[in-house]
Structure 1
Amino acid sequence: MTFQGEQYPGVKAAPAETQGFRLNHTMLRIKDPERSLAFYSRVFGMQVMRRLDFEEMSFSLYFLAKLEDSDNVPEETEARTVWTFSQKGLLELTHNWGTEDQDDFAYHDGNAEPQGFGHICFSVPNVEAAQAWFDEHDVTFVKRADQGKMKDVIFVKDPDGYWIEVIQADRMATMGD
């Protein structure tokens, strides 16, 4: 690896001790696992790699991945758990038991005031085809590809209102300065 990253004030060289560190997953809290799992599997093609239940604390974790043909996922539970926690780019959905039965329950999506968390992002091969797919599946749009100042970028919402950015990698080359 020769590219050392863009350099800005505050950026330091990666210490040798961080060799092998990788971002494994991002966690979102969800109200209703059935609804969220249906959305992420049906609309984005993700699969549940592992579910972990914590009965004493009344919550479950669902680790989802968008598998590629070359992925070799172990069938055996313990080996699959190790595999899951060694991957890049997983989505962890955390369900606190009972929230699905509370009509007025909702998590803060991070984009309403006060803003905080922003979004997760999926890269797709064709942004127009993805937009048509989202229309077919009644996905809620925040922004379509032809709207706003950032063309070719889509924002949709998941069942809990979290924003999902959808991009086409080759159209990002000329974004920004």
Structure 2
Amino acid sequence: MSFSGEQHPGVESPPSEANGFRLNHTMLRIKDPQRSLAFYTRVFAMRVLRKLDFEEMGFSLYFLGCLEDDERIPEDAGERTVWTFQQRGLLELTHNWGTEEQSDFSYHDGNTEPQGFGHLCFSVPDLDAAIAWFDANDVTYVKRPEQGKLKDVAFIKDPDGYWLEIVEAARLADLGR
């Protein structure tokens, strides 16, 4: 028998009507696309898969993903849009035009009061190498892996102050035990 999920109060059996549903992307609002795109493409090697502009509403969407080198992405814009919305684990950066020119403008990071959104998480193959890479790229830390009670987990900030959790899966086998 295959694993079908942990059971806790409130967990219900998935209805057949929801078969095939999947989480496609998470969206963050960003102030300056040039700064945010540089961060995510340089520091995390993410690729911009699709940009969609909505001129009448004054905003742009950037869909980013961490892809395998041999992954085939459609060249045609329409086909790539469909392909993008079929993926898992993408990051959508939403830029409301003009915010980059407002010196006092910022988005709520979800971790200051009132708390809400917490963080995104990136799994890395080697946490020590990732920390050295972040240090070389002057990344801002919330928590280094050796700090606090939760060891082997780091938290950094992106250009808009959103928290990014950094983990190496192999180090987490005893987490929560």
TM bucket normalised to smaller: over 0.9
Partner of 1:132: 132
Are 1:44 and 2:44 counterparts? yes
Q: Which runs of 5+ in 2 are unaligned?
A: none
Partner of 2:143: 143
Partner of 2:89: 89
Are 1:20 and 2:20 counterparts? yes
Q: Secondary structure, in 3 states, of the residue corresponding to 1:129? A: helix
Q: Distance in 1 between matches of 2:70 and 2:169?
A: 20
Q: Distance in 2 between matches of 1:117 and 1:100?
A: 22
State the Cα distance separating 1:135 from its structure 2 match: 0.3
State the Cα distance separating 1:70 from its structure 2 match: 4.0
Partner of 1:102: 102
Partner of 1:114: 114
Partner of 1:123: 123
Identity of aligned residues (%): 69
Q: Distance in 1 between matches of 2:126 and 2:68?
A: 17
Partner of 2:175: 175
State the Cα distance separating 1:72 from its structure 2 match: 1.5
Q: Secondary structure, in 3 states, of the residue corresponding to 1:100? A: helix
Residue deviations 1:138-158, cap 9 Å, x none?
000000111110100010000
Runs of 4+ aligned residues of structure 1 deviating over 4 Å after TM superposition are none
State the Cα distance separating 1:173 from its structure 2 match: 1.0
Are 1:79 and 2:83 counterparts? no
Partner of 1:4: 4
Q: Secondary structure, in 3 states, of the residue corresponding to 1:134? A: helix
State the Cα distance separating 1:88 from its structure 2 match: 0.2
Partner of 1:157: 157
Q: Secondary structure, in 3 states, of the residue corresponding to 1:56? A: coil
Q: Distance in 2 between matches of 1:79 and 1:56?
A: 23
Residue deviations 1:11-57, cap 9 Å, x none?
01111111110000000000000000000000000010000000111
Q: Secondary structure, in 3 states, of the residue corresponding to 1:51? A: strand
Residue deviations 1:110-157, cap 9 Å, x none?
000111000000000010100000000000000011111010001000
Q: Distance in 2 between matches of 1:13 and 1:114?
A: 33
The alignment of Structure 1 onto Structure 2 pairs a total of residues equal to 177
Q: Distance in 2 between matches of 1:77 and 1:58?
A: 21
Q: Secondary structure, in 3 states, of the residue corresponding to 1:78? A: helix
Q: Which runs of 5+ in 1 are unaligned?
A: none
Q: Distance in 2 between matches of 1:54 and 1:154?
A: 36
Q: Distance in 2 between matches of 1:165 and 1:66?
A: 16
RMSD over equivalenced CA pairs, Å: 0.9
Structure 1 length as normaliser, TM-score?
Answer: 0.98
State the Cα distance separating 1:85 from its structure 2 match: 0.3
